[in-house]
Amino acid sequence: MFSTDDTIVAISTPLGRGGIGVVRVSGPDASRIACELIGCGDALVPRYATFARLRATGGSVSGAFVPDQVLLTLFPAPHSYTGEDVVEISAHGSPVVLESIVRGAMDAGARLAEPGEFTLRAFLHGKLDLVQAEAVADLIDSVTPLQARAAFDQLEGTLTQSIAGVEQDLFELTAKLEASLDFPEEGYHFIEPTAVITAVEHVIARVDELLSNAARGRLIREGAQVVIVGAPNVGKSSLFNALLNANRAIVTAVPGTTRDLLSEQLDVRGLAIRLVDTAGIRDTIDAIEEEGVRRARGALDVADLVLVVLDRSRVLEGEDEAILAATRGRPRLVVLNKSDLQSRAPSMPDAIEVSVLTGDGLQALTDRIADTLGSAPERRDQPRVTNVRHADLLTRARASLTRAREAVAASNGALAEEFLLADLQDALASLQEITGKRSTDDLLRHIFERFCVGK
């Protein structure tokens, strides 16, 4: 379905200006196309940078030729990122220059790469498995060092290896059962029912181990939305600024200052948090403020964690009570702000007292945010499942394994190998879908769509 016999080209560095920019060419004609771009007489020397000047290719792809000095490096197949001949062309990082190089390569016969097509080709040529290909996208998208480390571990194959281990155990078990099926007349089981149960339980335990920190893994990979809500003037924007350590939101003594949602990225103990400041929730006849309140309620609905801010220096009012009621039963922290002033609010167990003004209690609040979201320190030696796709497939594998175990337990010694095998093979199929040993075009398309062109 996916063609790999043509040569693709794309700008691999981000859009915009930089000291250098890189155009990547991959495919059987990569070397010839690169030579046409610079008019080289000799072939490029593998893995040596060659300094050259671009020359006009004079082809049909529209746009004026732009001269530049470039460095070309040829990585011959199979020792390249994609497993094909790859030429990386480093030029000055100007979009005008880089686009001209891409046009020149297209004049010489290259096709513009689809999103993620370089990594897709790496997968199709067996340079990476699916877990590693997804890790490339995660690493590029990471915004905290913890996210980057988790992605890098997967790129290095830690998860791949442990899934391969589970797969191997399962494979050995199915082989024995198949042997029993192949010699039915002997009435001989190559493996006894009790041994089957032990073996299946062992595999289940390994899957459980992988699944045990998947929820936290997902949080690492996807980050969390933390939304600050409260009545007007309680200090939401002040808290937002303090947590960000930046003067981002307008703070005034006028209730109803914030009208729109403000959101910023924040690193809390390695977790990528999107912190959202909202308009003070109250009934209002001001049309702008009313829209702000509507947006605040919307943000509340999608939050992974809600920070309900109350003003400790005044008695609780209807608005405060309404917000407390609306957030009851969902992940939230109640923040009693303005602890520098005389307290007039009732004391609340579990609420965190802070004074954004003096900074009192802010560290404790940050710790509570991290704890609540589940950022406990963890063992580095464990492979981490961070991707929901992987977690879902592991869960599916587990369900098939459980069915197999129950079937054996209920069989009273008379093993029905066929049924057992069907369940175990389902489990095996789920595991193989994680690493891509088994994959459909739809799955691949779905995964590589989220890459950008050039990756």
Ligand X SMILES: Nc1nc2c(ncn2[C@@H]2O[C@H](COP(=O)(O)OP(=O)(O)OP(=O)(O)O)[C@@H](O)[C@H]2O)c(=O)[nH]1
Query: Which residues in this chain contact ligand X in the complex, by CB under 6 A?
Result: 230, 232-238, 251-253, 255-258, 279-280, 337-338, 340-341, 355-357
The amino acid occupying position 374 is: G
Q: State the nearest-atom distance from the C-beta of 307 to ligand X, in Å.
A: 11
* Of 255 and 318, CB closest to ligand X: 255
Least distance between ligand X and beta carbon 309 (Å): 6
What length is written for the chain? 455
- Cα–Cα distance for residue pair 324/334, rounded to 1 Å: 8
The terminus-to-terminus CA distance of the chain in angstroms comes to 20
Q: Which is nearer to Mg ion, 91 or 279 (CB)?
A: 279
Binding to Mg ion by residue 82, rule CB under 5 A? no
Q: In the window 236-265, what residues touch Mg ion (CB under 5 A)?
A: 236-237, 257-258
Write the DSSP symbol of residue 186: G
Burial 215-228 (b: 16+ CB within 10 A, else e): ebbbbbbbbbbbbb
Q: How far is the CB of 93 from ligand X (least distance, A)?
A: 41
Give the pair of three-digit tokens for residue 165. 């281990």
- Nearer residue to ligand X within complex by CB, 14 or 255: 255
* Residues between 360 and 399 that touch Mg ion (CB under 5 A): none
Strand order through the sheet with 50-53: 50-53, 69-75, 86-93, 18-26, 8-11, 111-112
80 vs 237 by CB, closer to Mg ion: 237
**Residue with CB nearest ligand X?**
280
Q: Hey, what are 427's tokens? A: 């489990």
Instruction: For residue 317, give the amino acid letter.
Output: E
Q: In terms of CB distance, is 340 or 378 closer to ligand X? A: 340
Q: How far is the CB of 383 from ligand X (least distance, A)?
A: 43
Per the rule left: phi > 0, alpha: psi between -120 and 50, beta: everything else, 350 is left
Shortest approach of ligand X to residue 227 CB, angstroms?
13
165 C-beta neighbours (distance < 10 Å), count: 13
Question: Residue 249 Cβ, how far from ligand X at the closest point, in Å?
Answer: 7
- Cα(134)–Cα(161) distance, integer angstroms: 15
Number of alpha carbons in the 13 Å side-chain half-sphere of residue 373: 29
Residue 311 CB, nearest approach to ligand X (Å): 8
CB closer to Mg ion, 103 vs 236: 236
Closest CA to 304 of 364, 372, 214: 372
CA distance 80 to 265: 35
CB under 5 to 8 A by kind: which of Mg ion, ligand X, none does 116 bind? none
233 binds, among ligand X, Mg ion, none (CB under 5 to 8 A by kind): ligand X
Nearer to Mg ion, 251 or 401 (CB): 251
What is the contact surface with Mg ion in residues (CB under 5 A)?
Answer: 236-237, 257-258
